[in-house]
Each structure stands twice: as C-alpha cells, then as structure tokens.
Chain A
Amino acid sequence: MKPLKKTPLNRVHHELKARMVDFGGWDLPVWYTSILAEHKAVRSRAGMFDVSHMGRLWLTGKKAGAFLDRLLTKSVPRLDIGDAQLCLLCLENGGILDDLVVYHVGVEQYLVVWNAANIEQKFEWLFRWSGSDPDIIIEDSSSNTVMLAVQGPAVCQLKNLKDVSHLPRFGITQTKMGNLSALVSRTGYTGEDGFEIITDAANALPLWESFIEQGVKPCGLGARDSLRLEAGMMLYGHDMDTRTNPFEAGLGWLVDLEKGNFIGKNALLEIKHQGVKRKLVGFQMDGREIPRSGYRIFKSGQEVGQVTSGGYAPSLGIGIGLGYVPIELATIGSEIEIVIRNKPIPAHIVNRRFYKGGASNEPQRI
C-alpha cells in the first residue's frame, strides 16, 4: 500500500487527536470533536478546514489565458484580474472531468484550484492539449503551499481577515496577514461567507495558530460534507463525473455556449438541443430516516435513479440528499421513495439549496 499523503498541517491534526481517514490517498481529519459541533460553528460563527489536499495549479505565460479558455466552459478572457470563476472542465463528449475555480491573479497569471480526485487523468488531459508550447507554463504548487478555508458569518471580524473584508464574492488578492504573505480569496464550499487562504507551507502553523487564538474552530471533512450538502453544492465523483453532462447535473449555468470554441462545446450544444432525460434533484425525507450515497430511488415501486449524496442535515434536523431522477419527476414537490434497509421510504423533491441562510456559491435553482 502506498503511504498516505500528508498536508503541512498533518501533525497538528494528530496532536489534536482528530479522527483521521484515508481520503483519496490523503491522511485527513473527519472530525476533531464532533461533526455536529463543527458544522454549527461554521453556521453560527467561524470554522477552519485544512483543504491542502485540493490541487493548486499555476498557469502562466503568453498563451495561458487562451489555453484555459479552450479547456473551460466559461469565458476566461472576460475574467478580470482579481476575479475568480467556478467552471467545468469537460471531455469532448461533454462529460464532466472536474469542477474547478480559475483565478485571474495577475497579467498572464492564472491559478486553478481543482479537486484531488482523478488527478493523473486531469494532468494527462491538460498536457495533451498544451503540448510543449513554451508560452504555456504549468506548475503544480500543491505540495509546497498550504490551503486553509476559514468559513462562517463572523470571518470578517477576525483580525487578520479584516483587511480583506472588502473583497467581493469570488475576488482574490495577494496580501499580508501579519508578517506572512498570502493569496486570499472570498470563496468556499460551505454556503457561508468565508475566505480561502493559500500560503507557503512554512507559514502553515503560524497561520493555523493565529486562527485558533481567535476562537476559530478546527473542522474536518465530515462537517465540510454536511455543510456543502445543505448548501446544495455538488461533490465531484459523487454528484457528477465523466458520465454526467452539465445540463443533467443542473450546471448549465456554468456553460457559456456563446463563447468561442472550447473542448466539449459541440457535444454540449447537441445535448442542450436534444434535451436531457434525467436531472439531479434535491430531496428531503418525510420521516427521520437518513439517505446515503448509493441508495436507490423508487417511484411507485419502480427503480428510477440513485442517491449520489445523502446524509443528515444538522441545520434542518432531517435527512437530505441529491440524486438523478427522470426529467418528468424532476419537479419540486414530486413524491419519491428512497430504499433504506430494503424498504421504500417516502421523500419529496425540494429546492437543492436546502439551507437558505448564509451566502451560497451558487444561485438558487433546481
């Protein structure tokens, strides 16, 4: 077995006696004290997550912007310096290879933050299209930097984030936090206001400790998952993958078919023209049962789909989930059943943004 990969904060997690887990080859905390307590800290005040397992990729050079524009579903030339954009990386057939955030950091300088999943396949894809063009320089800075997500309604009151409180949602800036220099963006994956901070691995510990001193609660992957699910945010590899297209995943808003040519555009035009046969929906249980990823979805005794994400929603006190159903069932209020312990249990389709507070990354849509 390959040894697990460690983030620059790995020792801190172990010292805090966090429950650790192998998450796609990374040794990461699921929780420190309790998922519910950590979830609540983010909804009510502030929590922080070591998200250094996320891939951080620099694309620089004269053709870096044009190259990204050819690969991504949103217009890169329209992205001003200091702005970021959520977008998709699609295969030629329109299947989703990843959802990622592209940041226009400086002149001919782009940062891509993408998922840790299927990283080799994605690099292969990138290099296949970049070739050996000297004007496209691709550098992976994941291993020599740390990435911390500080999330919650009180983040702007934290002393080392006050100076960046002017940043708009999806803004990014190079800044000084105390005496350490960092790249800070107003982004996150919790449905709350928040920042994500990237800095040299050597700064990891002082940065972490400065937030601890201010009462920011360390949060693990468990709360990260329950928070994003409540906010209706999708998880790559569960709610979408190379076998799903953006329109059935409800991510059509991330696809700009008006922009110039990009990989997958022709297929996506065709898919949009044909219309989708199934759609990702949010649902909530009528009773107290909890749906889980992989459970089957039934309608009137017939299997119609599968749960792709599911769990207990701490802010709502009920079980919620995401899953694909035939397009004719994909309307709010539609009654379905989730098969739990071999019994069909009643549920109904609701708006995917289950938790209505906070400042979600995504506009409201089903």
Chain B
Amino acid sequence: MNPKEYKYTQEHEWICSEPENKGKVGITDYAQSQLGDVVFVDLPPPGSQVEQLKKMGEIESVKAVSDLFAPVSGRVLEINQAVINEPALVNQDPYGDGWLVRLELSNSSELDALMDSDKYDEFVSRLNEEGSE
C-alpha cells in the first residue's frame, strides 16, 4: 500500500517529509509497475535546483524512457547512489531503498498542492479501472 505519511503527485512521484524542511523523493509502486524493469536512472546533480512539477530527471525501463518530475521546488542535497548502481531497487522497494533524491524544500507550503495517500489511492484505482476497460 502507499505509505500514509507520504504525499503524491499526479505523475506518480512521492515525497516523504523529513525534519528541517527536507524530503526524500521517489516514484510510486504504481509507477514502477507501469514502467516494468528499471535499468537506468538519470538524476539531477547534488546542488542543482529543481522546480515543482517540472522535469528533473528520467527513468528508463527496458522498454521506455519516462520523465521524472519534482514534487516540490528545492535544492538537491543527495542522490541515491545505490539506485544508480542497481536501478532494479526502484522495482523492488519503491518506497524504501529505491528512493531517488533528497531535497531541501524552498517552500514547504507547496506540499499542500499534493495528494495525500487516500486521494492517491483513489487516483490510482480510477486509473486501473480505465486501464481494464
């Protein structure tokens, strides 16, 4: 299930808030299941600025290339080196070891624009219904 304490974008990224206006970002279980086996991730370099809902990187599965969007604006503090070396972590543990970047938020009120887990669960079940028609 999608973790309760995380916030979600319509593009299927999650952010988990940490103390001092920081947050960890990754893609959701739904996103990884849609992409299939992830084999390459292109992440923004530490120190760079990202903007809410703007493209900040790319995730490649065997089959396709998908854009990665920033859930909030901020500065990249750290990228997950383990995922660079072993992209399959995104499939195996999207909410844990498969995290992608840590950000320092420039405006924490941007979190209010994101979905909570209930809303995101609903959003995904609607997509699944549409997909099975």
* Chain A contact residues, CB within 8 Å of chain B: 19, 30-31, 34-36, 222, 226, 288-290, 292, 311-312, 314, 319, 341
Q: Does B83 contact A (CB under 8 A)?
A: no
Please, which residues of chain B bring their CB within 8 A of the CB of A34? 36-37
CA distance A350 to B27 in the complex (A): 35
Smallest Cβ distance from B66 to chain A, in angstroms? 12
Closest 8 CB pairs of A and B: A35-B62, A312-B39, A36-B37, A312-B62, A222-B63, A290-B40, A34-B37, A290-B60
We find that the number of chain B residues with CB closer than 8 angstroms to chain A is 11
Contact present for A222 and B40 (CB under 8 Å):
no
- Tell me if A's interface is mostly helix, strand, loop or mixed: mixed
- Beyond A30-B63, A222-B62, is A312–B40 a contact (Cβ under 8 Å)? yes
The residues of B with any CB-CB pair to A shorter than 8 Å are: 36-37, 39-40, 42, 58, 60-63, 65
Q: Which residue of A lies closest to B84 (CB)?
A: A288
CB proximity of A39 to chain B, nearest CB, Å: 8
Given contacts A312-B62, A341-B58, contact A35 B40 (CB under 8 A): no
Report the nearest B residue to A226, measured CB to CB.
B62
Known: A35-B63, A312-B62, A341-B58. A290 touches B39 (CB 8 A): yes
Residue pair B42, A341 in contact (C-beta under 8 Å) = yes
Q: How far is the CB of B62 from chain A (nearest CB, A)?
A: 4
A36 near B65 (CB under 8 angstroms)? no
Return the chain B residue nearest A314 by Cβ: B62
Which residues of the other chain, A, contact B63 by a CB distance below 8 angstroms?
30-31, 35, 222
A-B contact pairs, 11 of them (CB 8 A): A34-B37, A35-B62, A35-B63, A36-B37, A36-B62, A222-B62, A226-B62, A289-B40, A290-B65, A312-B39, A312-B60
Extra 20 A-B pairs, beta carbons < 8 Å, given A19-B36, A35-B61, A222-B63: A30-B63, A31-B63, A34-B36, A34-B37, A35-B37, A35-B63, A36-B37, A36-B62, A222-B62, A226-B62, A288-B40, A289-B40, A290-B40, A290-B60, A290-B65, A292-B65, A311-B62, A312-B39, A319-B40, A341-B58
Bound CA–CA A319/B63 (angstroms): 12
Q: Find chain B residues with CB under 8 A from A222 CB.
A: 36, 62-63
A30 to B62, CA, bound (A): 11
Contact assessment for A31 and B39 in the assembled complex, using a CB-CB cutoff below 8 Å? no
Closest CB of chain A to B42's CB: distance in Å?
7
* Residue numbers in B under 8 Å from A319 (CB-CB): 40
Q: What's the minimum C-beta distance from B116 to chain A, rounded to whole angstroms?
A: 28
- Verify B36–A31 contact, CB threshold 8 A: yes
* Cα–Cα distance between A222 and B36 once the two chains are bound (Å): 10
Q: For residue B36, which residues in chain A have a CB less than 8 angstroms away from its CB?
A: 19, 30-31, 34-35, 222
CB A49 to nearest CB in B, in angstroms, measures 16
Report the nearest B residue to A39, measured CB to CB: B62
Distance in Å: Cβ of B73 to nearest Cβ of chain A = 22
Which residues of chain A are near B37, meaning CB under 8 Å? 34-36
Q: Determine how close the nearest CB of chain B comes to the CB of A18; give it in whole angstroms.
A: 12
- Residue numbers in A under 8 Å from B65 (CB-CB): 290, 292
Which residues of B lie under 8 Å from residue A289 when comparing CB positions?
A: 40
Q: Which of A34, A289, A319 has the most CB of B within 10 A?
A: A34
Q: How far is the CA of A238 from the CA of B42 in the complex (A)?
A: 26
